């Protein structure tokens, strides 16, 4: 069965639209499964690397118990000896694996009415995504009425120009 527990978010991004200092920044969401100490309720920092076997480094000895014990000792953190694994999510600022210019995010990926990248962020107006049916309709009718007005005005001018030419008051 699929695991539906929520991941632990390791570094939460706290910006908000209400905060005038907030900026939109690109991040990569790093999703992982990491060792966790269920007694002390903290993530385990395993020892990963060493030159030699037998020092507990995970990528040499492939043993979670010793890697966790050694890693937590190096980090100066408590370790109960118990290990479970939890889903985690970490937000990385984009300074790894930067895309080529041709793959850069396009304006229309956010500024679009259909499933844009920021479609789920509501409560503010974003040009190209949000619109008012009423104002759009109002604008369309403004254009239509202006064209009708121009046609009426131009017709009247053409009509009276002929009349004046034919009449006694023509100054030319």
Q: How far is the CB of 120 from ligand HEC (least distance, A)?
A: 12
Q: How far is the CB of 107 from ligand HEC (least distance, A)?
A: 3
Kindly tell me which residue out of 24, 101, 135, 168 binds ligand HEC, with binding defined by CB under 6 A: 24
Print the binding letters for residues 136-165 with ligand HEC: x by CB under 6 A, - otherwise: ------------------------------
The two tokens of residue 87 are 């889903």
**29 with 91: CB under 8 angstroms?**
yes
Q: Is 110 in the site for ligand HEC (CB under 6 A)?
A: yes
- According to CB under 6 A, which residues from 39 to 58 bind ligand HEC? none
Name the nearest CA neighbour of 69 among 53, 60, 56, 59: 56
**83 with 40: CB under 8 angstroms?**
no
Compute φ and ψ for 87, nearest 5 degrees. Answer: -80, 140
Q: Which helix (H) or strand (E) is 74 found in, with range?
A: helix 64-75
Contact set with ligand HEC (CB under 6 A): 24, 105, 107, 109-111, 117-118, 124, 126-127
């Amino acid at each position: 069965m699929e695991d539906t527990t929520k991941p632990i978010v390791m570094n939460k991004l706290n910006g908000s639209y209400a905060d005038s200092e907030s900026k939109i920044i690109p991040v990569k969401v790093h999703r992982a499964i990491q060792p966790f100490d269920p007694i002390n309720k903290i993530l385990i920092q395993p020892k990963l690397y060493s030159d030699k076997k037998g020092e507990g480094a995970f990528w040499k000895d492939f043993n979670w118990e010793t890697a966790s014990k050694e890693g937590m000792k190096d980090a100066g953190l408590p370790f109960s000896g118990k290990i479970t694994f939890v889903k985690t999510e970490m937000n990385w600022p984009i300074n790894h694996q930067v895309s080529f210019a041709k793959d850069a995010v396009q304006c229309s990926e956010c500024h679009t009415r259909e499933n844009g990248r920021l479609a789920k962020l509501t409560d503010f107006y974003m040009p190209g995504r949000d619109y008012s049916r009423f104002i759009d309709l109002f604008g369309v009718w403004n254009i239509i009425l202006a064209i009708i007005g121009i046609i009426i005005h131009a017709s009247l001018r053409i009509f009276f120009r002929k009349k004046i030419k034919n009449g006694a008051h023509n100054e030319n």
